[in-house]
């Protein structure tokens, strides 16, 4: 088995090493998304745990389909496909991955232990190959643009698009940037050209079973779950909460607005710790895009200034705290857009 894994990983190294080449495309200006209103949020850095990468096994499509997951990276990928997010895919059994697996086990009527035991693996079947390839196009590389460091600079940009090819690929495939680097060791991420090919987890959008009847935000656990009318868990996401205890609402709230790709109003009064905010003395409109402070989605709640939204810093979700909103990775926020609706109850629990 060990020799087989080494041969499999060697094939990945070969794929990664062949990912450079082709002609460079001239950059084009990014398109300006439609402006829509949103609310503010903030994040503070915190380190995340690291561990060894799980080398992906290379199998045929027939061998991959409908077999039990064998590794944590396969579990993360299949759980993400089903709407049970463990944060960034990295092959590590961290707290968020274990929490996602416990939510899946609870919904499937299994022992809720967060472990890949035999009953769990026999229930969590790979529905498709775990890995696939992504080929970078001239169009998506041309839309990359540097992200301004100041609020004033961000407000002057046409859009807050991805700033690097690594950021684009990591968010599209729900993956840790470090994991993608290690999965593709031969790739020069700073000099990618159209036609470059990389290996990525085979997950872009989650597919949920059932209709959400309510959302549950569990403050202590830093998690958000959707349940159907019977109380069955149909989706699970890591979430960041307010830094200040008094800004953590407990009780029943409701969705009042659902906005994809929102803009963001920067209010200096919300950021008293910011030197720039104190010097500006005025509000700014920050354009839409994945690097917008509220990411790619704003789901407003019936408490002024509160909502569920995305973030340009998925590695910090669940490990840092916001100014008051509930923050998710952009890919999880997109999933939430699929079933969020005005009037949907949001139960905030201690």
**Structure confidence at residue 3 as a pLDDT band (50, 70, 90):** very low
Q: Tell me how far apart the alpha carbons of residues 322 and 240 are, in angstroms, rounded to a whole number.
A: 7
Angle CA 236–287–143, to nearest 5: 85
Domain containing residue 260: CATH number:
2.40.440.10
Query: Residue 98's closest CA among 83, 115, 81?
Result: 115
Tell me the CB-side half-sphere exposure of residue 193, using CA atoms within 13 A.
8
Q: Tell me how far apart the alpha carbons of residues 303 and 326 are, in angstroms, rounded to a whole number.
A: 12
> Which of the residue ranges 34-43, 147-156, 208-217, 309-318 would you say has the lowest mean pLDDT?
34-43
pLDDT at res. 42: 33
pLDDT at res. 301: 95
Query: What value does the mean pLDDT of the chain take?
Result: 83
Q: Tell me which H or E stretch contains 334.
A: helix 330-339
pLDDT at res. 324: 63
**Structure confidence at residue 320 as a pLDDT band (50, 70, 90):** low
Note whether residue 222 is domain-resident: yes
Note whether residue 326 is domain-resident: yes
Q: Tell me how far apart the alpha carbons of residues 162 and 246 are, in angstroms, rounded to a whole number.
A: 34
More confident residue, 315 or 60: 315
Q: Tell me how far apart the alpha carbons of residues 279 and 271 are, in angstroms, rounded to a whole number.
A: 12
Burial 196-222 (b: 16+ CB within 10 A, else e): bbbbbbbbeebebebebbbbbbbbebb
Note whether residue 287 is domain-resident: yes
Q: What percent of the chain has pLDDT over 70?
A: 79
Note whether residue 140 is domain-resident: no
Note whether residue 71 is domain-resident: no
pTM of the model: 0.80
> Which of the residue ranges 114-123, 268-277, 327-336 would you say has the lowest mean pLDDT?
268-277
More confident residue, 33 or 211: 211
pLDDT at res. 271: 86
293 phi-psi bin (left φ>0, alpha ψ -120 to 50, beta other): alpha
Q: What phi, psi does 2 have (nearest 5°)?
A: -65, -45
pLDDT above 60: residue 48:
no
Q: Is 85 helix (H, G, I), strand (E, B) or coil?
A: coil
pLDDT above 50: residue 290:
yes
pLDDT at res. 304: 87
Note whether residue 334 is domain-resident: yes
Note whether residue 262 is domain-resident: yes
Note whether residue 189 is domain-resident: no
Domain ranges, residue 246: 214-349
pLDDT above 90: residue 151:
yes
Where do we find the tokens 């969590």?
Answer: 124
Q: How many domains does the chain have?
A: 1
Q: What phi, psi does 16 have (nearest 5°)?
A: -65, -40
Cα dihedral 125→315→339→337 (10° resolution): -140
More confident residue, 49 or 271: 271
- CA distances for 186 relative to 16, 93, 137, 181, angstroms: 5, 26, 19, 9
Bridge partners, residue 242, by sequence:
322
**Structure confidence at residue 250 as a pLDDT band (50, 70, 90):** confident
Q: What is the pLDDT of residues 178-227, one digit of tens each?
A: 999 999 999 999 999 999 999 999 998 898 888 999 999 999 999 999 99
Tell me the CB-side half-sphere exposure of residue 153, using CA atoms within 13 A.
8
Q: Tell me how far apart the alpha carbons of residues 164 and 141 are, in angstroms, rounded to a whole number.
A: 8
């Amino acid at each position: 088995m060990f020799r087989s894994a080494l041969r499999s990983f060697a094939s990945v190294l070969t794929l990664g090493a062949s990912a450079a080449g082709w002609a460079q495309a001239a950059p084009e200006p990014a398109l300006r998304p439609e402006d829509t209103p949103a609310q503010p949020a903030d994040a503070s850095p915190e380190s995340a745990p690291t561990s060894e990468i799980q080398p992906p096994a290379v199998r045929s499509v027939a061998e991959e389909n409908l077999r039990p997951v064998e590794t944590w990276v396969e579990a993360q990928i299949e759980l993400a496909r089903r709407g049970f997010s463990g944060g960034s895919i990295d092959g590590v059994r961290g707290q968020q991955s274990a929490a996602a697996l416990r939510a899946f086990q609870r919904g499937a009527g299994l022992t809720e232990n967060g472990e890949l035991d035999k009953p769990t693996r026999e229930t969590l079947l790979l529905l498709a190959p775990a890995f696939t390839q992504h080929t970078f196009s001239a169009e998506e590389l041309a839309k990359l643009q540097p992200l301004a460091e100041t609020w004033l600079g961000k407000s002057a940009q046409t859009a807050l698009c991805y700033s690097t090819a690594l950021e684009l690929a990591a968010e599209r495939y729900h993956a840790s940037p470090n994991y993608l680097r290690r999965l593709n060791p031969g790739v020069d991420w700073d000099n990618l050209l159209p036609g470059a090919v990389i290996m990525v987890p085979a997950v872009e959008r989650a597919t949920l079973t059932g209709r959400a009847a309510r959302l549950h935000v569990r403050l202590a656990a830093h998690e958000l779950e959707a349940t159907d009318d019977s109380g069955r868990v149909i989706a699970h996401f890591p979430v960041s909460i307010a830094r200040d205890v008094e800004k953590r609402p407990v009780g029943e709230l409701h969705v009042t607005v659902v906005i994809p790709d929102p803009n963001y109003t920067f209010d200096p009064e919300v950021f008293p710790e910011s030197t720039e905010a104190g010097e500006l003395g005025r509000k700014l409109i920050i354009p839409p895009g994945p690097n917008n402070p509220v990411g790619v989605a704003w789901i407003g709640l019936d408490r002024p200034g509160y909502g569920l939204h995305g973030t340009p810093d998925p590695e910090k979700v669940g490990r840092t705290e916001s100014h008051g909103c509930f923050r998710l990775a952009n890919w999880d926020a997109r999933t939430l857009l699929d079933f969020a609706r005005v009037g949907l109850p949001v139960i905030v629990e201690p």
